[in-house]
Amino acid sequence: MKQLLCILLSLYPLLFVYAQEYELKSQHPLWDPIPGFRLLDLEKQDFGAFSFCDVNGDHYLVEGQITYYYYESDDTVDPLTILTRFQEIGDSLNATMYGDEGHQLYLVIQTNNRRTYVDLYAEDFYYTLNIIERGELKSEIDAEALLKDLKDIGKAVLYFNFKRNECELTSDCREIIEMIAKALESEPAMGLSIDAYTDNIGRSDENLELSQKRAEILYNELVKLGVDGQRMVFNGFGEKYPIADNNTVMGRAFNNRIELVKK
């Protein structure tokens, strides 16, 4: 028994080092934990949906990788101290920030073509973080690869990460729209059909109308960039012709797509 106790005591420093290393590896790359707080819980979903609050207090679903952190301190800390620390980080990252200035802070951060949503809640001895990194279903494709898909298989499937029930193209879509225009410029004889689809959440008629608006918006953006409108048509098919399971978050993300079809 004494020998076993000695073995356990000898392993304790190693366990302590392992715990420290685990916590360091678990930190989010955008920020370190606040001094005096330790990480007690960490949960991660590779892909999920989170109800995020906008600046007007309304909620909408954000889909992507979700990480939950729970930090706790042995001492009492003014929640405003925690909020201020994250506001400083948000300022350095040019984040959009809003909240109740008491316990809740929301940050929307755009870095390296990835949008990150942060839901922070602070009390006097703990704080929680829900971090949602928008699923990058937007196709990583260049003009050459786009043309190859159009020529070889007759279409290219693209993802623009529209917000649910919205048709507005986000600023991070600009690069891919310019790439499409560049590809079409190099093939002036190629015609194109812009076909938009949605998942099956909501009413079928509203999904149909939404997809039509999304296709039309992309068409108009390409015309603004100099693509001849006579070369293109646009269509919306709503929730018809899914390519993945609408019963899963990932499947719905894949079904919300735009297909460029060679004509």
Q: What are the pLDDT digits (tens) for 75-94?
A: 999 999 999 999 998 888 88
- Both 126 and 163 in a single domain? no
> Could you report the per-residue pLDDT of 95-104, keeping only the tens digit for each?
899 998 789 9
- Both 65 and 95 in a single domain? yes
Tokens of 44: 């991660």
Decide which of 115, 134, 153 is a domain's last residue. 134
- Both 126 and 72 in a single domain? yes
φ/ψ bin of 94: left (φ > 0), alpha (ψ from -120 to 50), beta (otherwise): left
Cα–Cα distance measured from residue 244 to residue 241, given in angstroms and rounded to the nearest whole number: 9
Q: How many structural domains are present in the chain?
A: 2
> Could you report the per-residue pLDDT of 186-215, keeping only the tens digit for each?
899 999 999 999 999 889 999 999 999 999
- Both 148 and 167 in a single domain? yes
Decide which of 116, 134, 152 is a domain's last residue. 134
- Both 175 and 235 in a single domain? yes
Contact 98, 107 (CB under 8 A): no
- Both 254 and 151 in a single domain? yes
Domain holding 81, by residue range, is: 31-134
Identify whether 198 is part of a domain.
yes
pLDDT of residue 107: 93
In 54-201, the DSSP E strands lie at: 59-73, 96-99, 104-111, 114-122, 126-134, 155-158, 192-196
Contact 155, 196 (CB under 8 A): no
Instruction: Name the one residue in this structure whose structure tokens are 């059909």.
Output: 193
pLDDT > 70: what percent of the chain? 79
Of the listed ranges 50-59, 121-130, 131-140, 234-243, the one predicted with least confidence: 131-140
C-alpha 97 chain-centroid distance:
17
> Could you report the per-residue pLDDT of 139-179, keeping only the tens digit for each?
556 778 888 888 888 888 888 766 665 666 666 677 788 88
